[in-house]
Amino acid sequence: MVTLPSAPWRGLAGLERLLAVLGAENGDTRFVGGCVRDTLLELAVSDIDLATRLAPEEVLRRLREAGIKAVPTGLAHGTVTAVVSGRPIEVTTLRRDVATDGRRATVAFTDDWRDDAARRDFTINALSADPASGAVFDYFDGLADLDARRVRFIGDPLTRIAEDHLRILRFFRFHARFGTGAPDAAGLAACRARANDLMALSRERIADEVLKLLALPRPAETVQIMLDAGVLRPVLPEIVATDRLERVIAAEAAAQLAPDPLRRLAALLPQEPAVAAGAASRLRLSNKAVKRIELAADPKLEPPRMLAWRIGTTSAVDRLLLAGDAAGAADLAGWQPPRLPIGGGDLIALGLPPGPLVARTLGRLSEAWAQAGFEEDRKAVEALARAHVDQALRDCQ
């Protein structure tokens, strides 16, 4: 019998009491999913999830009677969020699928642990563990797949994808995170065959999965597998190669910068601002994210600090890394573009008449000041301003 190793998260203050309230000692509640999988892999655990045979209303009642903060985050689907030591812990009643349409499922509650495990996507995500003994329950050979670092659908892959089309993208994301070697052949074939199913999903869900994949340390090989299989073509036909993604990943590492999924998405899209922005908009990304990708797609380069002054530090770092300039990007670490210490009122005081001429002259002055290296001495800036005011007045004559 495999048992769950000790891990820091298992010592969370208040967790033992929560488990007692939910009848874990009677077998009513178990650890499930990622916290079991990641602990077995000796990885850090970010989320603690519990499954229970108790009905959601009973979970809510017990928590409130025990004075544990309880939020009915998804009561209709069986989920109550308990807050322990300031940390949210999802408690979900065992479920089985009644009907699915590829986007959402109608569920019924059950007391059968195997039924609940069977509705999960991959074998490595269907593991559960008894909190008291640590005994790991494995209904679909997930432990063997975990040892082999293999991501495999539970049951027939085509059936699982028909239940939830997002599992196509999740298959590749989990392979990039946990898999080694080639993806599971049956899973890959099913994803290739059902790639058009992705078109039925909301673009927000697609974007969320793609960005999660790109946030992983080394996603390029998996993205190439997706391209070879034609998986991205129905929803992101603009992505055709991974060479710039590989270059960005290498440049991020060289500049000692954390992986950035938006930057990496920009690296996958064409270096055509309008096309890249169109793809980002289609994914329903925020206006700020769309603008960032649009700026990153422009290949025009300048000295790093000049570029940062013109388009912002984040976008300058994006553009430099997309060009493979790790040193230039590193030069911008912690640097914020300064602001011209003179405004329109100062130019008027120097003799410019109020009106459009002030804005035009201020623009020329700003450009000259930046090109000169962002002079900080006030007298030097005033002298530069005087020269531009004099020139503007001469041009008006």
* 37 contacts 75 by C-beta, under 8 angstroms: no
Which of 345, 354, 347 is closest to 389 using CA atoms? 347
Per-residue model confidence as pLDDT tens digits over 327-337: 999 999 889 99
The token pair that represents 235 in the structure block: 């929803």
Q: How many CB atoms lie within 10 A of CB 172?
A: 26
pLDDT at 389 (0 to 100): 86
- Identity of residue 92: T
Domain with CATH 3.30.460.10 in the chain: 1-148
* 297 contacts 276 by C-beta, under 8 angstroms: yes
pLDDT at 397 (0 to 100): 72
The reported pTM is 0.90
What is the average pLDDT score of the chain?
Answer: 94
pLDDT at 35 (0 to 100): 97
Q: How many CB atoms lie within 10 A of CB 372?
A: 11
What distance in Å separates the CA atoms of residue 111 and residue 52, rounded to the nearest whole number?
A: 8
pLDDT at 105 (0 to 100): 62
pLDDT at 101 (0 to 100): 56
Domain with CATH 1.10.3090.10 in the chain: 154-236
* Bridge partners, 122 (sequence order): 153
Torsion sign across C-alpha atoms 113, 118, 120, 122: positive
What distance in Å separates the CA atoms of residue 376 and residue 378, rounded to the nearest whole number?
A: 6
Residue 333, classed as helix, strand or coil, is coil
Task: Mention the CATH class of domain 1-148.
Answer: alpha beta
Architecture of domain 154-236: Orthogonal Bundle (1.10)
pLDDT less than 50: residues of the chain: none
Q: Where does 215-324 have alpha helices with state H?
A: 220-228, 243-254, 261-268, 273-282, 287-297, 304-311, 313-322
